[in-house]
Chain A
Amino acid sequence: MKTVEQVLKGIRPEFDFTTSEDFIADGMLDSFDVITLVSELDAAYGISINGSDILPENVKNLAAIARLLQTYGIAP
């Protein structure tokens, strides 16, 4: 199973996602990247992230994404 970091690298291979606290403010993810991320997390973990959970604060860094996934019973 892919890690969140591997999923992110697949979307934007040019960035090191371990060094940022805010992927969006730092220009590492744009709005379409966020949609792609959710789509790929859904596929990777066999879940459907609630559409109203697709918010910048839920995907802004690795810890926020981990917290989001935990609400779907996933411990990445």
Chain B
Amino acid sequence: MKFSFAGKRIAGVLTVLPANERSFDDDMKDFDFPPEKSLKLKRVMGYDRHRIVTDGTCVSDLAVCGLQSLFDRGLVKPDELDALIVITQSPDYFMPATSNVIQGRLNLKHDMLCLDINQGCAGFVVGLIQAFMMMEQASIHKVALVNGDVLSRKVCRKDKNSFPLIGDGACITILEKTDDRQPIHASLKMDGTRNDALIIPAGGFRMPSTPETAVVEDVGENNYRAKDNLTMNGTAVFNFVQVEVPPMIEALLQDAGLSSDAIDYFMFHQPNKFMLQKLADKMKVPRERLPSNIVENFGNGSGATIPTNLTFNLARPLIDGTLTLCLAGFGVGLTWASMVLKVGQLAFCEIIEY
């Protein structure tokens, strides 16, 4: 599915990371795996350290911290926000929506649209598409997009498939209308027949959590997890990304009338370094134009990974100038989405700690 927009822009990006950092060397102690193989896993996948919440921290805690920081510094005025989109797979509650929790905690105005979307690694692009569609309305001028997850709380520490890569955090992206009619092109595809490739089997209404679903089981290949935990079919997800993403990007660039060389940076979701390097090679993009250093520094924060990629790698260039970026996210659903747009002259582009 194709989308195109004009007269909208990213005004600023803020990443909120938990201050607590855990190292891969600490993670290794929980794995049922020879240390030399764990070190090989670290080298090939690019794992090193990741940010993990403590003391029951929830997505709304990270988001409120970030939004309050923007309000306190005068970077965003609370009353200017006409919509708040929260994209998460780890909401504070089944009900109410986390966006309403955040709205309430910050005493935001009532004349506002609050919307939660259950999305993961493609969630930044899905959120941008949703925000830009909202801004087609005369009444919506400025949108706060929150991409946040605390999925470490749902991953078994003895699961070497998932735990070393997981990272918690939230990003707040402010979108606004602009007189600049620069075109924005996007592409989105979904395949629900592969919905079990990334899943938390228990805890919803299909399989409610019970003492039995909390029992950690040997699931093979020296991995252990409970049905209450996130489970990822790593081989299927890897193959999905390698098969679906390159043609999506090629078609998107064609729609935008741009060559690969016209893109300053390919800012992709980052599950692991190996996957990103294989994507870059397949797309014939120099690896330095497709950064892959977020997982090793912070972990994979689902929908927060692309905006963290912006705040960590491109903060100064995006404040001082303007870049043409190709964004791509891919994961749960399965979902794969991409966008080409100019980003720059940002009011803020930074990382703070919670």
Contact = CB atoms under 8 A, between A and B. Distances in A.
Interface string A36-74: 100100000000101110111000000000000000000
Nearest to B37: A32
B243 interface: yes
B198 to A, nearest CB: 15
A55 B239 contact: yes
A31 B221 contact: yes
Contacts of B239: 51-52, 54-55
Contact of A51 (B40, B44, B221, B242): B242
Interface stretch (B3-11, B88-96, B278-286): B278-286
* Main SS at interface, chain B: helix
B210 to A, nearest CB: 29
Contact of B235 (A31, A36, A52): A31
B354 interface: no
B41 A51 contact: no
A16 interface: no
A75 B178 CA distance: 57
Interface residues of B, number: 22
Among A30, A31, A32, A36, max chain B CB count under 10 A is at A32
A51 to B, nearest CB: 3
A34 B242 CA distance: 15
Contacts of A32: 37, 41, 160, 221
Interface string A1-35: 00000000000000000000000000000111011
A39 B273 CA distance: 12
Given A31-B221, A31-B235, A54 B242 contact: yes
Given A31-B221, A31-B234, A52 B282 contact: yes
Given A31-B221, A35-B44, A51 B235 contact: no
A21 B170 CA distance: 47
A59 to B, nearest CB: 11
Interface in B230-257: 234-235, 238-239, 241-243
B234 A51 contact: no
Contact of B278 (A31, A34, A48): A48
Pick the 3 closest A-B CB pairs, nearest first.
A51-B242, A51-B278, A48-B281
Interface of B: 37, 40-41, 44-45, 160, 221-222, 234-235, 238-239, 241-243, 274-275, 277-279, 281-282
6 contacts: A36-B44, A39-B274, A51-B239, A51-B275, A54-B239, A54-B278
